[in-house]
Amino acid sequence: MGKAAKFKRLRKLAAQLPQINTRAVVGERISGKELMGLEKDAKGNPIDSRLTYTRKKIVTVPLNHHKKMKQFYNKYGIDGVKGYVSAVIDASEKQKNAKHNP
């Protein structure tokens, strides 16, 4: 079985895994007009209403299981994929138990 066929099987397996969310940092563009209530920007310069500023924001995004399994396969082989799948299932079970038993 070639590598492409293995990745196709990983894609099918990834679709069956439960969704797990992770946190990521995303850059967000804000116009100076929205920030006019503030005196200065993060660098200490006065805010100009004509400029746009970048603000970093932490958001919750779903984990891409297929991408992660490909990374684990390339680095550790099939044993790495098995470990990843078992870790995802364990994390999912912990989340379910935490929701039902606060």
Q: Are residues 70 and 90 in the same domain?
A: yes
Same domain, 76 and 87: yes
Do both 8 and 39 map to the same domain?
Answer: no
Q: How far apart are CA 92 and CA 15, in angstroms?
A: 15
Average pLDDT over residues 72-92: 93
49-72 CB burial, b ≥16 within 10 A, e <16:
eeeebeeeeeeeeeeebeebbbeb
How many folded domains does the chain comprise?
2
Report CA-CA distances (Å) from 40 to 43, 63, 99: 8, 37, 43
pLDDT attached to residue 74: 93
pLDDT for 102: 61
pTM for the predicted model, two decimal places: 0.68
Q: Taking CA 25 as the corner, what is the angle to CA 27 and CA 16, rounded to the nearest 5 degrees? A: 125
DSSP symbol at 40: B
Query: pLDDT at residue 80 above 80?
Result: yes
pLDDT in tens, 30-67: 887 777 767 776 677 787 778 888 889 999 999 999 99
